[in-house]
Copies of this chain bind each other. A is one copy, B any other.
Amino acid sequence: MAKAKNKQLKELTTQDALLLAAERPRALRNYLRKLHASELCTLLLGCRDDDERLVLLERIPQMQRGDVLLELPEGMQEDLLARLAPSEIEDVLEHLDSDDAADILQAVDKEVADEVIERLEPEDRRGIEALMGHDEETAGGLMQAELFKVRSDWTVEKVLVVLRRFGHEIENLNYVYIVDDNGRFVGVVPLHKLLFSEPEYPIAQMVKGDFPVAHAGQDQEAVAQLFEKYDVLAVPVVDDDGMLVGRITADDILDVMQEEATEDMYRLAGLSGDDDISEPVGITAYRRGVWLTVNLGTAVLASAVVAIFEGTISQIVALAVLMPIVASMGGIAGTQTLTVIVRGIALGRVTFANARRSLIKEVSVSILTGAGFALLMGVVATFWFPDLGIKLGLVIGAALFINLIMAGLSGAMIPLTLQRMNIDPALASGTILTTVTDVVGFFAFLGLATVFLL
């Protein structure tokens, strides 16, 4: 039944909604009130420009506006926020958790943000300012300040009494966080455990032992790995002094994981991390053009290698026919290795400790595949160009063998080296790799041909 109800509500398209906004604003408002933030977001995404989006946004109940803005693609979010007055932004913030409020403020101009912050209650202001001090991609930037914190010398009964009085405003209250007299983090107790305990039981004795803790400065990818490793629904965040400063819930981590996976995928494909389907054509073309220019440079470099052997090619045109195969196979094999290593690093499965083993494995795989395809392509080339015969087969086989081994070696070495230099291993590694496999492929094939076939 719940499903049927949803179906019925979802029926209005963006154009319907805009029409309703002009003709029956009150009916639209009533309709929008029943939608979930993600459904409202879909409506906004369907608009043709920011003017239309603003019309709909104004009809969305204040309680929901913040959630909707947070779900929009970053560029669109910033553009819409830029058109709201500080007082309107303040209204939006009022219905958000501190971490989300800080995210919104980080998306508006510095002066506007300062103006909004000044309008906030002193307590909210302090919380948000503390959060805004953290880099967005760290545990501190992800965490929310709202959590239920008790002293380690309390009893279960006292915890429950305080919880009943002050816990109302906290969403997803799954754990009670225990701190010592100085506010230092001691441990967590799952909420439901409180229900199973005697009232006079000391809370400190119920603390779960090996609970993971994030540090405020820790990178969000490392925090995501904590969640995966320990299968928890929230982790506490401590500062350098071990003080409990916030918590991160699993739903925020889901977003982080998707973001990080998208970023790696995009970078491997030579895309900027900000590339987005809702972005204007001109901006997308510019961003992609930057990477295509880099690729053009490396392609010209590879062609310069071919140019060295113009003389050879003019005598044996078959070489021009076959040379793309050597380069293409190297590129694909190298990309296979590169992807496994980049993803392994992101998931924490390839580390400094086992990097050598991964490298040895990848090179071994490439020796096997190299030998196999050298043989296969050697036979194909021999029969394809019978005039040149077995000698051509031997040359292309040797070139393929060399290029596939180089592909395995660089596919593993490039990301591992970037990682060691503290550069994102996905960044630019695809371009470096294909440059290597193109240059080596052409040089080995045409070079060997020059020596043995002329």
Which chain B residues lie closer than 8 Å to A270 at the CB level? 332, 335-336
Min distance, Cβ A401 to any Cβ of chain B, angstroms: 13
Determine if B292 and A332 form an interchain contact, defined as CB atoms under 8 angstroms apart: yes
Q: Which residues of B contact A275 (CB under 8 A)?
A: 336, 340
| Among A191, A277, A310, A350, residue most surrounded by chain B Cβ atoms (within 10 Å) | A277
Contacts of A380 in B (CB 8 A): 300
Most buried by B among A3, A164, A282, A303: A303
Which residues of chain B come closer than 8 Å to A254, judged between CB atoms? 224, 227-228, 250, 253-254, 257
A328 within 8 A of B: yes
Q: Are A285 and B368 in contact (CB under 8 A)?
A: yes
Tell me, in angstroms, the Cα distance from A122 to B372 when the chains sit together. 53
A343 part of interface (Cβ distance < 8 Å): yes
A306 and B328: CB pair below 8 A? no
For the complex, is A347 an interface residue (Cβ under 8 Å from B)?
yes
| A44 within 8 A of partner (CB) | no
Indicate if A386 sits at the interface (CB-CB under 8 A).
no
Contacts of A318 in B (CB 8 A): 310
Of residues 323 to 352 in A, which have CB atoms within 8 Å of B's CB atoms?
323-325, 327-329, 332-333, 335-336, 338-340, 343-344, 347, 349-350
Say whether A369 faces chain B, with CB atoms less than 8 Å apart. yes
Number of identical monomers bound together in the oligomeric complex: 2
User: What is the bound-complex CA distance between A168 and B369, given in angstroms?
Assistant: 54
Q: Which residue of chain B has the shortest Cβ distance to A337 in the bound complex? A: B288
Given A285-B369, A302-B324, A438-B324 in contact, is the A163-B332 Cβ separation under 8 Å? Answer: no
**Could you tell me the distance in whole angstroms from the C-beta of A425 to the nearest C-beta in chain B?**
13
CA distance A268 to B271 in the complex (A): 14
A356 contacts chain B at the CB level, 8 A cutoff: no
A410 at the interface (CB under 8 A from B): no
Among candidates B46, B292, B324, residue contacting A299 with C-beta atoms closer than 8 Å: B324
Using CB atoms, name the residue of chain B closest to A341: B277
Q: Is the CB of B2 within 8 A of A269?
A: no
Within 8 A of B (CB), among A180-234: 190-192, 195-196, 210-211, 213, 224, 227-233
- Given A261-B257, A365-B284, residue A336 in contact with residue B269 (CB < 8 A): yes
